[in-house]
Structure 1
């Protein structure tokens, strides 16, 4: 078969383009692996509206609100209506109007019961930055509330947060919500986060259970370069036991450390996307999401979590090849540096308490 580009009567690549012409004017689809001509799109694949992954169109569904969703997102973040079989976001009512307000427990109906204090999972207002960068942190603290007290607890959290953040529903939480803040620098958060809110919620019966966690978003703009991102990710993945000890949990379901992710660090540093439920979620356009932490309503533990979100970024910012070759990625090297950084005292104190583990 002749090459469609140069007409050479030789063995063609994918039955269309010869080995010489293919790299010059074709790209390989990351969804199906087939070649397509530059300037056009693969006619077999499409983009997931939720995670932006390129996937085979035959493996997607369209939601009741018109979004195209891949199989992985459908599995983790959507539900299928028993009346019309339509697919909907977790926590949202059926877009085809099948919900019965008297018996439905979807996010739309729950939000009405909570007086509008708690938004659905996909609520994301424009960010308001607090403090001075370059690194900004955006914590999400998941909590369980006592039966019949969800609205009372939401009122407590809402009154303390004011304009700093908001509350959202999450399908992984039974009775409860997650507390989300706008981006903060570490120093600003230590001085201005409403720490008393955590104490008040705990006194009201709220809990941090094994089903809840703390996820901290770190601004991609807070890193100097792809090399800096690479050094930071390598440090996190090379010190898995110590990171899990500091995080106070190990979760293959929600914050997995995998061999595939360790091998893909260089690609992630250059902008590639990976799985969502990983120790470091790389799927967000503007942030990395560090998902490793157990939830807590103890201000000391939350301060230590924010400290560990920020400190390794600063530690790896100026690591040289020489320093790395002489143990710069090791845990003792990091803790030695940390001991000379008074700003991270809450983290240092927690490490002293965990000395037998770390």
Structure 2
């Protein structure tokens, strides 16, 4: 009879041949059952095919994870920040740098003049008037991963965006994208995004340039909200942001994932914060939980690593204006609710308490379309 091994994650017993080895050849090696191996905290390295916990995650190549043991066979493109095997990296003597094939081609078409490096971060310019510091910065990823890729059309789209919207927007490379770029806005009020920035024309330009967002596996819509919106002091900000994280955790699986349009395979970029408000929690203990959550890194539904903003990473990318605006409106609605609601009332808050009576037309219509109200 085969020996039985206990799954470290759930404690169930299984035959040896039915178990999966996790973190092999490390001090943290253990076995997991077939159910637990698909936990989002475990990934399978696309190079060596071994299973690892996120402690051994190094990066991803073409959307597939690479472990720290296999990183020696991969390089980071010094232009887009993407990870590539050594067979797909080109060394540029003039720049004394390694570039992936796409970036080398883009450099030859002068896309560098239009699309900034991944680490580019200009001083923010604020658009619109807001007494409550309700400024939203948007990162909309667009890409092209199918057979109709046309580098010239993409170049023209980037050129149009750079020429016509250079005051409010800028373009950046992102290593998670195959052939596209990230459209980043300066901080704007919701009204400015809606009425003045010109997002509908921006989205049309992208579509005409063979770029996509929703119908890809690579694109997200990230929304930054000013920390100052949550209060004048660090103490007040921490409390309100903690309540927000609890609400996001509470409705992550039941409502927010459906709203986000993301597939299960895309959730590693926006994990559930999983913070719960217990009956004996106080403002102090809740803030402590929030600070511990911050150490989990930026690939969470709400990223707290930025100094001046919190980043909502939930949403899948979109070139549909109404869906785009509804996503920004959801950020404002749930954030305002967190600010205006006492901590003691957060555990009993329902989804309907937050959104049933929203006055945002696009948000209300989208929630009805998704059968979320």
Given the two structures, how large is their TM-score scaled by the length of structure 2?
0.65
The answer for the alignment partner of 2:150 in structure 1 is 147
1:297-353 deviation digits (Å, cap 9, x = unpaired) = 11111111111111111122211256446x33x101112342xx2xx2111110111
**How far apart are the structure 2 equivalents of 1:268 and 1:184?**
30
The answer for the alignment partner of 1:205 in structure 2 is 210
The answer for the alignment partner of 1:316 in structure 2 is 338
Aligned-pair distance for 1:159?
A: 3.3
Match of 1:174 among 156, 178, 183: 178
- 1:218 equivalent in alignment to 2:212: no
1:127-170 deviation digits (Å, cap 9, x = unpaired) = 01112142211110000143323211202322342300100011
Residue 123 of structure 1 contacts residue 168 of structure 1 at CA under 8 Å; is this kept in 2?
A: yes
Aligned-pair distance for 1:80?
A: 7.6
Residue 199 of structure 1 contacts residue 299 of structure 1 at CA under 8 Å; is this kept in 2?
A: no
The answer for the alignment partner of 1:237 in structure 2 is 249
- 1:113 equivalent in alignment to 2:133: no
Q: Indicate how the Cα distance of structure 1 residues 166 and 265 shifts in structure 2: closer, same or farther if over 3 A, else same.
A: farther
**How far apart are the structure 2 equivalents of 1:220 and 1:142?**
23
Matched ranges for 1:249-328 at <5 A: 249-250=262-263, 251-259=266-274, 266-267=287-288, 269-270=290-291, 272-321=294-343, 323-324=345-346, 327-328=348-349
CA RMSD of aligned residues (A): 3.4
Residue 78 of structure 2 contacts residue 97 of structure 2 at CA under 8 Å; is this kept in 1?
A: no
How many residue pairs get aligned? The number is: 277
- 1:157 equivalent in alignment to 2:165: no
Matched ranges for 1:59-208 at <5 A: 75=59, 89=78, 91=80, 98-99=96-97, 104-106=101-103, 110=107, 113-114=110-111, 116-131=113-128, 132=130, 133-145=132-144, 146-148=149-151, 149-194=153-198, 195-208=200-213
**How far apart are the structure 2 equivalents of 1:173 and 1:111?**
19
Residue 247 of structure 1 contacts residue 292 of structure 1 at CA under 8 Å; is this kept in 2?
A: yes
Tell me whether 220-229 or 117-126 shows the greater mean CA deviation: 220-229
Residue 107 of structure 1 contacts residue 169 of structure 1 at CA under 8 Å; is this kept in 2?
A: no
**How far apart are the structure 2 equivalents of 1:72 and 1:107?**
30
The answer for the alignment partner of 1:47 in structure 2 is none
**How far apart are the structure 2 equivalents of 1:313 and 1:111?**
44
Residue 227 of structure 2 contacts residue 309 of structure 2 at CA under 8 Å; is this kept in 1?
A: yes
1:62-119 deviation digits (Å, cap 9, x = unpaired) = xxxxxxxxx989646999898xx98775626979954478x85447963863150100
**How far apart are the structure 1 equivalents of 2:72 and 2:155?**
27
**How far apart are the structure 2 equivalents of 1:280 and 1:87?**
26
**Rg larger in structure:** 1
Residue 167 of structure 2 aligns to a residue in which SS? helix
Matched ranges for 1:51-66 at <5 A: none
**How far apart are the structure 2 equivalents of 1:238 and 1:312?**
12
Given the two structures, how large is their TM-score scaled by the length of structure 1?
0.67
- In structure 1, stretches of 5+ residues that fail to align are 1-70
- In structure 2, stretches of 5+ residues that fail to align are 1-54, 82-89, 278-284
**How far apart are the structure 2 equivalents of 1:150 and 1:324?**
46
Aligned-pair distance for 1:288?
A: 1.1
**How far apart are the structure 1 equivalents of 2:154 and 2:346?**
49
Q: Indicate how the Cα distance of structure 1 residues 269 and 245 shifts in structure 2: closer, same or farther if over 3 A, else same.
A: same
